[in-house]
């Protein structure tokens, strides 16, 4: 039995209410996993995975980020981060959820999983609040060359001068996602790069919370996040004893088919993080939790958490 609850907590921006979902085991809670979801999606897309863990004694909790899902005040706010520093505020919101969950279950081992854009936010979380965690799973992550980040900031800034920060630019969307489907031609949809599972792809394509264009403000927030998490001084602030597990699809374009994921993994190890593990899943695309091979991924992540609890 699982006790699933949905409720709202205040955002640290002082305006929005964060839509929170919690999957609580009936019985002893052996660990807590907080999920930081990806760009243009929402926390309830993790329902199958959360149920799997909750059935095994792990409480799962997460929120829709600012500008996403039911946290967005209305459709116009989807893809818009209503904060002076969107990246910092999203991470502060994640910490709010951490404090909330820990308050309900003090002393329980606590882990964070970040997927895609959520992995960028999770990496920033490690640099700011890493001591709050017993481990983290970095999923479907990547980096951008500094020149690309600088160009992206410039283009987004230039367009926003004329169109405003809430403008939804097809050009920015094409520059960001246009190449992701190329390696999978011929394709059925614009979202084939996410997973081989056509049922998941079709459900994604039919959901208004997955198909909107990010605003210019959203892209600027994304670029600012990259600037922060790629800064070596910030990476140095990650606790060296914190266990990290990097996972991704070997055919995930976000991580350049695993190349960027491995680079980040190697960089973190070089920076002195002692307990670092990596696994790339053969023939899997961006959303490994939604791949046809999802059961293997679930088992690996569950086993990693249990192993870390045992050696804590």
Give domain 2-142+234-310's CATH superfamily. Alpha/Beta hydrolase fold, catalytic domain (3.40.50.1820)
Q: Please state the φ and ψ torsions of residue 213, each to the nearest 5 degrees.
A: -85, 140
Residue pLDDT, tens place only, 132-189: 999 999 999 999 888 888 888 888 888 888 999 999 998 888 888 778 999 999 999 9
8 Å CB contact between 181 and 130: no
pLDDT: is 150 or 292 the higher one?
292
Residues 6+ apart with CB under 8 A from 275: 241, 242, 243, 244
Q: Look up the pTM and report it.
A: 0.97
CA dist 179 and 191 (Å) reads 11
C-alpha–C-alpha distance, residues 273 and 305, integer Å: 18
pLDDT tens digits, one per residue of 189-211: 999 999 999 999 999 999 999 99
Average pLDDT over residues 45-60: 98
Average pLDDT over residues 261-287: 98
CA distances from 64 to 209, 290, 310 (A): 11, 18, 31
Please tell me the distance from the alpha carbon of residue 115 to that of residue 112, in angstroms, as a whole number. 10
More confident residue, 45 or 158: 45
Check residue 148 and give its pLDDT.
83
| Residue 46 exposure: Cα atoms within 13 Å on the Cβ side | 29
Q: Are 271 and 239 contacting, i.e. CB atoms less than 8 angstroms apart?
A: no
For residue 18, the model assigns a pLDDT of: 99
Interval 263-275 mean pLDDT:
97
The better pLDDT of the pair 144, 256 is held by 256
pLDDT of residue 205: 98
How confident is the model over 95-120, as a mean pLDDT? 98
**Confidence at residue 243, expressed as pLDDT on a 0 to 100 scale:** 98
Residue-level pLDDT at 114: 99
pLDDT of 274 over the 80 cut:
yes
The mean per-residue pLDDT over the stretch 72-88 comes to: 95
With cut-offs at 50, 70 and 90, classify the pLDDT of residue 65. Answer: very high
pLDDT, position 268: 98
Residue 153, pLDDT score: 85
Domain ranges of the chain: 2-142+234-310
For residue 1, what pLDDT is reported? 79
Q: How confident is the model at residue 209, as a pLDDT?
A: 98
pLDDT band per the 50, 70, 90 thresholds, residue 247:
very high
pLDDT, residue 46, reads 99
């Amino acid at each position: 039995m699982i006790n699933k609850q949905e409720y709202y907590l205040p955002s640290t921006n002082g305006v929005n209410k964060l839509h929170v979902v919690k999957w609580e085991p009936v019985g002893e809670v052996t660990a807590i996993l907080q999920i930081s979801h990806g760009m243009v999606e929402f926390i309830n897309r993790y329902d199958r995975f959360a149920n799997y863990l909750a059935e095994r004694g792990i409480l799962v909790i997460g929120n829709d980020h600012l500008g996403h899902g039911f946290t967005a005040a209305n459709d116009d706010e989807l893809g818009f981060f209503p904060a002076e520093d969107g990246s910092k505020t999203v991470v502060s919101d994640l910490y709010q959820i951490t404090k909330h969950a820990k308050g309900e279950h003090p002393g329980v081992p606590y882990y964070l999983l970040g997927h895609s854009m959520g992995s960028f936010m999770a990496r920033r979380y490690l640099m700011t609040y890493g001591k709050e965690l017993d481990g983290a799973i970095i999923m479907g992550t990547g980096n951008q060359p500094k020149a690309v980040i600088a160009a992206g900031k410039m283009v987004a800034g230039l367009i926003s001068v004329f169109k405003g920060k809430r403008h939804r630019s097809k050009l920015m969307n094409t520059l960001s996602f246009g190449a992701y489907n190329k390696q999978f031609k011929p394709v059925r949809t614009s979202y084939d790069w996410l997973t081989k599972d056509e049922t998941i792809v079709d459900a994604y394509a039919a959901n208004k919370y997955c198909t909107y264009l990010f605003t210019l403000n959203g892209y600027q927030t994304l670029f600012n996040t990259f600037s922060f998490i790629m800064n070596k001084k910030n990476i140095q602030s990650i606790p060296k004893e914190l266990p990290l597990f990097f996972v991704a699809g070997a055919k995930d374009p976000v991580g350049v088919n695993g190349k960027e994921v491995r680079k980040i993994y190697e960089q973190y190890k070089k920076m002195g993080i002692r307990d670092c593990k990596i696994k790339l899943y053969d023939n899997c695309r961006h959303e490994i939790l939604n791949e046809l091979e999802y059961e293997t991924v679930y088992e690996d992540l569950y086993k990693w958490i249990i192993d870390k609890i045992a050696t804590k």
